[in-house]
């Protein structure tokens, strides 16, 4: 059983790569990858083994959380590099980063909702392969709107779907 002294005593030693992997829930190879990308850094022992300072744990957690949100690694890298003296993000930094990514996340959420709602119907890709497509995308009229699955783009509700007049395509799909 831990006494109060144990509870107050914070672990201070640097972490080996195995300990870091265990504590962060990230594989050793991912840690090496992050390091080659400059996202985290380690020191070397006299025996050339990696040692991570404990603040790198927070850095890895931020990277992991951002990746879970779908933020590309290049963007995470840029955001971490922009921190003063490349420091490990504090709670305040994280708040700032989250704000910066909010618009991007909102857009991503909107696209995912559209994807979920429209996955089984015509997506306006030009394939005209589904029974509904000639009704929703007659003669591939959606091609005038641009390349790719036009009905999965946010704001697609007002796009022309009949080659001439404008109508609400969402209504046409259901």
Positions touching ligand FES (CB under 6 A) are 122-130, 133, 137
In the complex, minimum distance from the CB of residue 59 to ligand FES, in angstroms, rounded to a whole number: 43
In the complex, minimum distance from the CB of residue 107 to ligand FES, in angstroms, rounded to a whole number: 22
- Report which DSSP code applies to 16: P
In the complex, minimum distance from the CB of residue 49 to ligand FES, in angstroms, rounded to a whole number: 54
Q: Which of 85, 75, 78 is nearest to 55 (CA)?
A: 85
Q: Which of 126, 121, 66 is nearest to 93 (CA)?
A: 66
CA–CA dist 153, 110 (Å, integer) = 9
Q: 125 near 149, Cβ under 8 Å?
A: yes
Q: Residue 53 contacts by C-beta under 8 Å, 6 or more apart in sequence?
A: 14, 15, 43
Query: Of 98 and 145, which has the nearer Cβ to ligand FES?
Result: 145
In the complex, minimum distance from the CB of residue 111 to ligand FES, in angstroms, rounded to a whole number: 17
Query: Of 24 and 137, which has the nearer Cβ to ligand FES?
Result: 137
Q: Which of 10, 31, 125, 110 is nearest to 70 (CA)?
A: 110
Query: Of 25 and 154, which has the nearer Cβ to ligand FES?
Result: 154
Residue nearest to ligand FES (CB): 122
Query: Of 58 and 126, which has the nearer Cβ to ligand FES?
Result: 126
């Amino acid at each position: 059983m831990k006494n109060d002294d144990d509870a107050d005593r914070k672990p201070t030693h640097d972490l080996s790569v195995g300990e870091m992997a265990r504590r962060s829930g990230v594989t050793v190879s991912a840690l090496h990858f992050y390091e080659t990308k400059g996202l985290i850094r380690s020191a070397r022992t006299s025996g050339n083994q990696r040692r991570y300072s404990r603040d790198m744990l927070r850095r890895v957690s931020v990277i992991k959380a951002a990746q879970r949100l779908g933020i590309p690694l290049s963007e995470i890298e840029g955001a971490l590099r922009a921190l003063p003296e490349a420091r490990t993000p504090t709670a305040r930094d994280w708040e700032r980063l989250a704000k910066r990514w909010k618009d991007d996340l909102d857009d991503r959420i909107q696209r995912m909702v559209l994807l979920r709602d429209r996955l089984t119907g015509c997506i306006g890709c030009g394939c005209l392969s589904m029974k509904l497509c000639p009704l929703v995308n007659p003669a591939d009229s959606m091609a005038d709107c641009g390349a790719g699955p036009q009905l999965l783009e946010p704001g697609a509700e007002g796009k022309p779907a009949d080659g001439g007049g404008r109508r609400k395509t969402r209504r046409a799909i259901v």
